[in-house]
Structure 1
């Protein structure tokens, strides 16, 4: 890979990536090459490699953590592209259409990582069931060993059924949604209500551990769904920033207001000086991320 140019010359000095470096280092390396390139042609080569790299990784991400990393890369990369394009002279900063095309459904719709997380949950319940005798510690007494052998307090099959029911409901409700529709669905979910004690709920002592596993898993995925919905919002903002870059400042607001945008996205976009601002759905749920994200525009 190339890192820099020889001082005072046009000769490229080759540098190798550190062996066994994290994958994110490779992406950052490509982005640094693009930002530090001496001309637009070399920058385009590096940006193109970075875009291809992100899309390749995103296409193979299956687990929730893998996809969350891809969402982070994508959103940061789109802001970097906007920042770079805004600094280029007119005619040199236009981004190719290939860099603006939508990402695959795998990275925009939650049904893919939901399937992986569901499988992980099933495997976890099976693993706990295989170790039922050790549930009470390394040296269970005879009563504890008897309870473990009979699965008192934990019923693996019932737990799997409860988890499957929970995941199937999530997939039916949100699995094929993306962007604003996905965010609306996530935000409309009612908050889980504390369970009231009754004669029937007291029977959960037969599956106490399984009930805890299901209850703990249920409420913690909304922030991830909102982060995934933000990917489409960032994509829209990057495309709009390229349209607005070529306009005088006086015409930008009219162009923005005249866009045919998905319901739920328009109200999250605004202009402030030489920047397009977006309010993310993630920011609505996480106060630390509530500040608008700036997509710089070319000074008019």
Structure 2
């Protein structure tokens, strides 16, 4: 995308919404969610978070990328597991079925990367009850994908947890856990297939589930986006691994790495750095590039001086249908 377009958008990022007539608003790290009965209006803003903290500056068009990429993958995985999507009436909005969330993130890892790699380098060989073999290199494929659940924290850091702990704490019953673990592995297999068709590797990702008013389990939140997933370039992967070189990533991991270089890991006492405009533009370009790679479609920007008016109009039109 033209850098000038991204530069012009820097002061107009969507950081906050206050839509009227759509119920109670809940502000998450990235999404503003409105609930009206059994219907959710999920507005994906341009806010960006890392290490469970919302960063000071937003990223041009990031919300549109996430919302539209999630919509693409919800449709592509609907036959694998039912999801909450009812409609996508606006580039930044998904209308979904309200569900009671299962308070666990089902993290599926196919490769040693990110949080798992950092723990492994510190000597850990067990992650969420899953035993990892000795001798793995960062970025190396695991013998088979593993599910490493984490508690979904309202504030602060999520916590790694074993399946047994999840059940004993009453977060989920054993039968539901087994069902959702298999669902997560099946979704990961489908995501891996799509990524491979685009010469990409789906490294790891997280899934969230909930129950609707009828008790139906559904995939919720987002799926296979750069905020929830890590991707490698497939071309040259084996060569880089053999030579001990970092893998080429199309995900948010490079933002985490930049923050760590600035001394920020979300720990108490860490000072959160500001994001330079040039870095914000680089982040936007990477998000947009990944969208185009995964969907095979050009990214069409939605530039408007009053995005909230656009959202309200599109929601009203959806309600009238």
- TM-score, with length taken from structure 2: 0.23
Asked which structure has the greater RCO (Cα within 8 Å, sep 6+), the reply is 2
- TM-score, with length taken from structure 1: 0.24
More strand by share: 2
